[in-house]
Structure 1
Amino acid sequence: MYRRLNWTDLWGVFFIAFVLLFGGGQVVQAANTTPKKAYAINAQLPANQVDNALQYWELRLAPNQQQTLNLQLANIGSQPITITVYANNGTTDSNPQIIYDRTAPAVYPKTAVSFASLVQGPRKKQVTLKPSQTTTVSFKIRAPAKQFTGMILGGLYAVADVTTDANATVRSRVAYQRSVVLQGNDINQVKPKLHFGTVKPAVQADNMVLRLATTNPAKMYGEAITTDMQVNRQGDIKRLVHSTSQDGKIAPNSRFDWQFNIHKLPAGNYTMKLVVSGNNVPKQTITRNFTIEGSQVQSVADYLGTNSPGKLAIIIILGILIAILLVGGWVLLYNRARMRNHNK
């Protein structure tokens, strides 16, 4: 008689299949808890910091007063790491959120005073740290010659390549940022003022998006921004797209394209209705008409046609490999059990 395979044998089959498929036939060792490349930053707040509970700079400077901004960097990995730090203007991305990673964009309007214009010396600095080493990167700024209202917003942006494979074609980067808020007169009375231009549909990979031209020329950021957006066919009350968002932030003196996902609408004429509000932004309703062209719909279809079969093929191949390994493992254990009983 042949021995019946028990659950221990079956678990052995699954283990063999998993190791062969994902481990390359080699024993996988436990990973080291210390990452190879990693770092941390800390804003060293000065004595004239307005609010010491914050983890970024909030300063009120006299005209032409100089101030040094010190950012501490620490290598917490097991390999050397090179970190680049920029002193940039605060800008708004398409989400919207306030970011500091763009070195070129100017403030809006151009007559406004930018944080970048106040930096004395280079706005880019780079250091290489050995494991466990710390250092401080410093930037000097000079306040405007005259008093100003509202705020001037900038930030220090640190970025490092943490790729550990020298031959990797895709690089991994880790970035951190710390705000620099320069307070002017009437800081609590100045409010953001949002203005909206035209809306344009655009193709983004396998989706269609709307991009609404938006400006905030005021010297104050918008906080806790919420939106409620819907899309209808022109002349039809049926809602085809609906989305909401919360906790948006808009930089002072900034211009950006506010982006909304509208999925895969067919070609035609549509109306977008957007309701915007925030903690310091009054409620506004924006209505814009737009047209989706047939060529845009085709671009989305072409992208899906190019990428979907490849993904499906990978899934099918993986399924076949798993099935082969499971069957092969079962046959192997079955024959071993048969041979043991034959030799008794």
Structure 2
Amino acid sequence: MAEGDFVPLTHEILSQSLSQIDRAVGGGGFAFTRLDCSNKELTDLGNKVDGYTQLRHVILSHNKLDKIDALTRLPHLLTLQLDDNQVNSLACLTEAAMPWCQRIDLTTNKLKSLPSLTALSRLRFACFASNEITTLEGFGDHPALEELQLQENQLTSLKGLGRLAGLRRLVASSNQLSSLEGLDAPVLTKLELSKNQLVSLQHIGGAPNCEELDLGENQLSTEDPNLPELRRLGNEMALLKSLVVAGNASDLRIEAIVAAPQLQSIDGEPVTAEDRESATAKVEELTEAIKAREEEMARQAEEAAAAAAAAEAE
């Protein structure tokens, strides 16, 4: 089939793709509740699904759809799978009549932003991985959402994410994150942020109950012996047990134990008694480094003051 060909959803395809007959919601007999039109090279849904309002599971993976307006009129829909299509906007979902939808997957599409999905008031799982999303502005609050996947996009911050009161897992790996501004997930337990550009962990306290944190392959370092960024993990994530930091600008294992002694596992390896002994020794080393740094800063300040005084005297 040639690129750009128009391939609509036909009655023939529809009849071959319907399955799972269940009792109709509201009475009135039985109806098909599952539609699987995967791998049909569809480019348009038309109005063919309008008469199938009892559908609860719709699978349209691996097609060429760029619009999904026709699906917003399925009031009993529970799951919607649209991975590997060409959807470039979800504006139609802002007023969708899909109050029971709990799961939506739009992996590998053409999305550049996310609108508010509060019309999907029972949404628990959402995957927007491998799109072209650059901003979360307007996404807003989603109290029922438990898992959100945003990996492999182009995000530079989490600003606009809103308060996610029920979120348990957030995946934002392989983006361009340089800031965690916008993180507000009070019951989050698993946070995946690997392969970003994080130098600072400011705003990490937006996930105070996090137990598993992946910061691998970022730009974190131990250049400052005070360890200000790693200490945020100890001060703002008291329940943190598992940490991944491999692939950063510095080897952070022992410093992480110094800064966050509650850790039980780092880079997939348990924290041992030997590690804790090394951390104790590292504290002394860091204390000396801090002292030397402060003395050097004081010396530089004195030299600058002397130079300024000499220049004024001239």
- TM-score grouping bracket, smaller chain normalisation: under 0.3
- TM-score scaled to structure 1, two decimals? 0.23
Greater strand content? 1
